[in-house]
Amino acid sequence: MIPATSFKGKTIALFGLGGSGRATARALIEGGASVLAWDDNPDSVAAAESEGIPVGDLRRADWRKFASFVLSPGVPLTHPKPHWSVELAHAAGVEIIGDIELFCRERRSVGGHAAFIAITGTNGKSTTTALAAHIIAASGRDAQMGGNIGRAVMTLDPPAQKRTYVVECSSYQIDLAPSLDPTAGVLLNITPDHLDRHGTIQHYADVKERLVAGSDTAIIGVDDVYCAQIADRLERAGKEVIRVSKRLALTDGLFTDGSTIVRAWGGRMEPVVSLEGIGSLRGQHNAQNAIAATAACLRIGLGIDEIQAGLRSFPGLAHRMEQVGRSGNVLFVNDSKATNADASAPALSSFPRIYWIAGGLPKQGGIETLRSFFPRIAKAYLIGEAAPAFAATIGEAAPYEISGTLSAAVEHAARDAAGDQTGGEVVVLLSPACASFDQFKNFEVRGDAFRVAVAELGDVEMIGEVR
């Protein structure tokens, strides 16, 4: 745990007592702060109280005594309406921050020597975070990974000179971290997402920009207009900017030439590392993740050989184009994390012949933007609430059935893929382009159910364990 010693002797209000909220409260208490915590969920309040965290209804508190208000990132800060606790903090003139801000202040308070890579973007940030942390750890260095992935940031080991932090930051967390100051800040991409929480795409982009604006070096994917504009703006302001691209041959920055990551500068180009044959990094989207992770690792001093070795040994992340099993020439891939059409596009672009399982709780726009990939679809197996709408969009562009449930879709897709006579590898792909909440608690549960259904087919060589 990282004791929040920079808050020693201060009285802090805290709202949101899930796992990360309780961890943050404990870090504040261990650092010498006086904490009063609350949650709208009585069970969460009871859990915190059982752990010795002081609780009390913040509606009845004297806000004049609070130096800071620590808010869980899942609680509305601005849209669609500020939470009641946010309104009380604003009325009292109390700063509103989150656990990432606590981490940044603590890192500075002990000298700021620990390298810090912060990563954000609409898509790919978890894979890029895990990949960068894996490369660093595989090189024999101390890599601490957390934030929006894995461990809550304040549960990581305390800052030390030879320790490197790799932290995934959601837009919600960035919104609560006004002094976010990584050694290397990575912004992968921006597409419309979380607009219910940010109001407009421009406000969402502005929040994302704060991460790279506060960094020593800004590593920015320039394949979308919002990020390209951010890179130009920060460079004009004097920020060190490293542009990365999965499709543009840059004159200054890192990009891919086939399976090779190339670095360009001063009119010169040199190959850096190769992605050839790395199954866990298949697809253009993973090329972008690998380029960004490579740039970040170069920035903090890793050698090219160390980065190449880390890339080759990366196992990939669960539910993100995860190879879960194989039966003859049929590969089963779990891409349950693809909860919107933009997130499904990379997987659909990575395989030439696909038995596609899609559907769930639909997002705005459906799958219309995926139309260019329909020729790759041998057959679609549609599940959940989105099935009728997805069927209407596919129309006569590809064969489809409304399977209804995931287990039925897996069974039917596996049968049809096994009988495919075209030759070469075919893929049974779960890439739903939908949220999971109509049938599953979350995308992880959905992905685990896919893996179980594949294992139950009986003639599949599974890759990894069945969770």
What is the full per-residue pLDDT of the chain (467 aa) written as tens digits?
Answer: 999 999 999 999 999 999 999 999 999 999 999 999 999 999 999 999 999 999 999 999 999 999 999 999 989 998 889 999 999 999 999 999 999 999 999 999 987 789 999 999 988 899 999 999 999 999 999 999 999 998 999 999 999 989 999 999 999 999 999 999 999 999 999 987 666 666 788 889 999 999 999 999 999 999 999 999 999 999 999 999 999 999 899 999 999 999 999 999 999 999 999 999 888 898 888 999 999 999 999 999 999 999 999 999 998 889 988 999 999 999 999 999 999 998 899 899 999 999 999 999 998 899 999 999 999 999 999 999 999 999 999 999 999 999 999 999 999 999 999 999 998 999 999 999 999 999 999 999 999 999 999 999 989 999 876 55
Residue 280 pLDDT: 86
The HSE-up count of residue 29 (CA atoms within 13 Å, CB side) is 16
* Structure token digits, residue 18: 């899930």
Judged on CB neighbours under 10 Å (0-12, 13-18, 19+), 329 is middle
C-alpha distances (whole Å) from 451 to each of 28, 297, 317 are 40, 33, 14
Give pTM, 2 decimals.
Answer: 0.84
3-state secondary structure (DSSP) of residue 179: coil
b/e for 207-224, b at 16 or more Cβ within 10 A? bbbbbbbbbebbbbbbbb
Q: What domains does the chain contain, in order, with CATH numbers?
A: 5-97 (3.40.50.720), 101-312 (3.40.1190.10), 322-457 (3.90.190.20)
Separation of alpha carbons 318 and 126, rounded Å: 10
Pairing of strands 461-462, 322-327: antiparallel
160 neighbors 32 (Cβ within 8 angstroms): no
SS (H, E, C) 264-284: EECCEEEEEEECCCCHHHCCH
Inter-CA distances, 438 with 22, 321, 383, 385, Å:
29, 22, 10, 7
Q: Where do we find the tokens 């980065």?
A: 307
CA distance 214 to 80: 27
* 383: nearest Cα among 364, 406, 362, 367: 406
Which residues lie closer than 8 Å to 184 by C-beta, 6 or more apart? 115, 116, 117, 118, 215, 216, 217, 219, 295, 296, 299, 300
Residue in this structure with the two tokens 């808010």, named with its chain if needed: 71
The gap from C-alpha 116 to its chain's centroid, in whole angstroms, comes to: 17
Amino acid at 167: V
**Token digits for 109?**
């308070």
Sheet holding 354-359: strands in order across? Answer: 400-404, 377-383, 354-359, 426-430, 330-334, 322-327, 461-462
Residue 216, both tokens = 């020593």
